[in-house]
Structure 1
Amino acid sequence: MEFAQIAIASWYPLFSFQCLHHLPPRTKQPGEQIRKLVKERRQSGRLSYAFAAIVFIGTVLLFSIFSTSLVGMLVLLVGLVASCYLCLNGKHLMKRADDAQRGAKAETEVAILLRPLQNQGWEIEYNLQVKRWGDADVVLHSPQGKWYIVDVKSHGGTKVYENGRLRKRYGRDTFDFNEGDLISKVKGQATEVKHLKNVRWVTALLCFTKGDVDIPSNQVGGVYVVTASNLINTLLHLDR
């Protein structure tokens, strides 16, 4: 009896490891990666605000001690500058966290829109890690055997193509995207996914959950630029 218990105890860790080793990888949820980024930025922002408060309080205390000397004036100047910088940095991080939160919400909205395709046999993968380009928001494999990648954005305004660049228009004014060249980015992601999945071609799409698109044929350099409301129709049209 004791021998059997010892044998079971010695084999149990190996058995558990083998079971865990053969478990299928956990499927990532829409917006999962960017929500982690939101959490990290907010934590960093709060820390920056906290350090700003500590530096300010320390500066006031030191100045009260050396207020009549040149050292006191120098401490006051350096402390106020440092505290101001930390406050501005915290504000910047919080703004970036809010931007990322909107991006996560946009990815979730698109995932809901894509559910009918899953019911039709489409395979959908979210937040696929790719070299150099971070992660691909949505990767789709259709029943026809075709592959697609969708980069989801939440920018408002009307998207136009001017002077060789994708831009956003508000009224008469047009602006560049802060993220840089979105077309090159999604094309790079499509190339990486093509190598990763070992397939001949991956069609790239840019999907905006806000605003409109005013681009002939909704295509720029082989990349389809669409609104969220037109995403499924575009995919079904391309998959014919």
Structure 2
Amino acid sequence: MVASSPRTAGQNVRRLAFRRRLQSWQAFLAAAGLPVLVVFMFPVLAIGLGFIAAIVIVAIAAFGAMGFIFRGLDLWQAANRAVQGARAEENVAKTLQELEPQGWSFEYGMRLDEGLGDADVICFSPQKKTYVIDVKSHKGTVIFQDHRLQRRMGRTIYGFKKDFLQIVMKQALQVRDKKKLDFVTPLLVFTRAQLAVSHKKIRGVYVIGQADLVAKLQELG
């Protein structure tokens, strides 16, 4: 049996969320500190450069502070998305616990190369088969259109920013090579979205909801 994972589910993403939260606070502090510094230095600037030049510098500092604020807000939202993703990975891990008494084992957060991030979950079955799961926490209804997964929100269809099918396939191939395995099956698991896609492979990838994950793995063996 494969040894237990050195990482817990969602650990890498929670660390990312912490870094983004810290960076956002740094941006907010810079936004607050820059105008204060310039106002404090205003008399010196006015004497040395002239009143008009000092006013211009204050205005530039104000615009700079706004830039830091927007940067901080973007980082804060990115941290929120990372936390959401971590919770999704943790929920999938809880779901998979049902398979452990049956001889399944799991590895979480394996680092990958070539900009692929990490493999959220690697599953090892009692039949010596291996699976890679990429967890997604998007809402809406997932459809397959124009040879890509897309998301329907109400009557509007949005394309995902990334080609999830291609990414998880590349993850599976890299895990196969790194672990020197014969074959690794990729699965894309949505934890919150409704699925309006085939239960068969789509471009070589199984696309399923979290509620169907255990049954699908048991079916595949």
TM-score (norm 2): 0.92
State the superposition RMSD in angstroms: 1.8
> Partner letter of residue 58 of structure 2?
L
Q: What is the aligned partner in structure 2 of residue 134 from structure 1?
A: 117
Q: Identity of aligned pairs, percent? A: 32
Q: What is the aligned partner in structure 1 of residue 69 from structure 2?
A: 87
Q: What is the aligned partner in structure 2 of residue 33 from structure 1?
A: 12
Aligned to 2:182, the other structure's residue is in SS state coil
**For residues 120-154 of structure 1, what are the alpha-carbon distances to aligned partners after superposition, in whole Å with 9 as ceiling and x for unaligned?**
10111010112221210000110111110000111
Does structure 2 conserve the Cα–Cα contact (< 8 Å) formed by 1:219 and 1:225?
A: yes
In 2: Cα distance, 1:70 partner to 1:127 partner: 56
User: Higher relative contact order by CA 8 Å / sep ≥ 6: 1 or 2?
Assistant: 2
Give 1 or 2 for the bigger CA radius of gyration. Answer: 1
Matching of residues 1-240 of structure 1 within 5 Å: 27-63=6-42, 66=46, 69-132=51-114, 133-178=116-161, 180-239=162-221
Does structure 2 conserve the Cα–Cα contact (< 8 Å) formed by 1:59 and 1:80?
A: no
In 1: Cα distance, 2:78 partner to 2:157 partner: 22
Moved over 6 A (4+): none
**For residues 165-208 of structure 1, what are the alpha-carbon distances to aligned partners after superposition, in whole Å with 9 as ceiling and x for unaligned?**
21111111111223x11111101100001111211111000101
User: Any stretches of 5+ residues in structure 2 without a counterpart?
Assistant: none
Aligned to 1:220, the other structure's residue is in SS state coil
In 2: Cα distance, 1:99 partner to 1:223 partner: 24
Does structure 1 conserve the Cα–Cα contact (< 8 Å) formed by 2:5 and 2:106?
A: no
Aligned to 2:189, the other structure's residue is in SS state strand
Judge which range, 99-108 or 126-135, deviates more: 126-135
* Aligned length in residues: 215
**For residues 43-99 of structure 1, what are the alpha-carbon distances to aligned partners after superposition, in whole Å with 9 as ceiling and x for unaligned?**
110011001100021233344663972212320221011100001101110100000
> Partner letter of residue 150 of structure 1?
I
Does structure 2 conserve the Cα–Cα contact (< 8 Å) formed by 1:62 and 1:75?
A: no
In 2: Cα distance, 1:69 partner to 1:57 partner: 18
Go from structure 1 to structure 2 and tell me whether the alpha carbon gap of 1:77 and 1:43 turns closer, same or farther (over 3 Å shift): same
